[in-house]
Structure 1
């Protein structure tokens, strides 16, 4: 039966920071997500569906991080949005209103990669720029363990949801589009 651990070999992230993007490794070394474990994966299988299938990880135990860009006049706000892989974030209503933005869109990937020091397909809330809010869906925060990106396509982190909710810039909200 698939679960959050799947068929991967997990080791404490603090002991294998070489598997993480530098900004993620720095955050882990600084005490963020202290219980996090890391596993090396095939970079070609970093996208959620392929990853979950190959490594037998329950999609309900995988959380996706997308970065959005909200605008109000000249003010631009980047924010990370975390929801379970089986859910869809209500970006156009809930996230936009929470950020006080008039317009919102998914952030430019090249800009995110440069600002975060991470690779597309591995973006994670751990180690993002300090001024970027991290909006964590309540279902992610309540999860025992969730799999998230390691900042690069070649690794994943296994983290208690509560530790994501405890990130310095984190705010827990109900972000999922209601069915």
Structure 2
């Protein structure tokens, strides 16, 4: 039996060399399964791919509270701008600021951006468009002659790369 559901990690406990994860999902996500199906899984070894629904973006602020890196859009072309001489600032003088960006928002950004510069091994726009069109990740991986886990890892790298750009686009 193979089931794909979205869950929330409710708790994590570390004891005796084991980790106990409690995952919670809404009833609708598992509505196609009977109580017997779910009971059958209890105590069994299952394979789970844990992937975040959002990505953390850490922005470092200088002593004046200004971000050391900003992202701007000019005629549909996004660019990253680093403060001049940022490498001269002592790390201890920087204040980290954390924000979360939903993967759905990152995917919307990837699809809507006119021009994306990305030096990864995949074309993230092509992969996200395939997913939006209902193509399974396994099929997309097969079409690109890579493993599914490799394609998933590369897409996560691309999403992390574009997360700060997405955050900037949402702030406008």
Shorter chain as normaliser: what TM range?
Answer: under 0.3
| Structure with greater contact order relative to length (CA < 8 Å, sep ≥ 6) | 1
Which structure has more helix as a fraction of its residues? 2
Instruction: Give the TM-score normalised by structure 2.
Output: 0.25
Between structure 1 and structure 2, the one with the greater Rg is 2
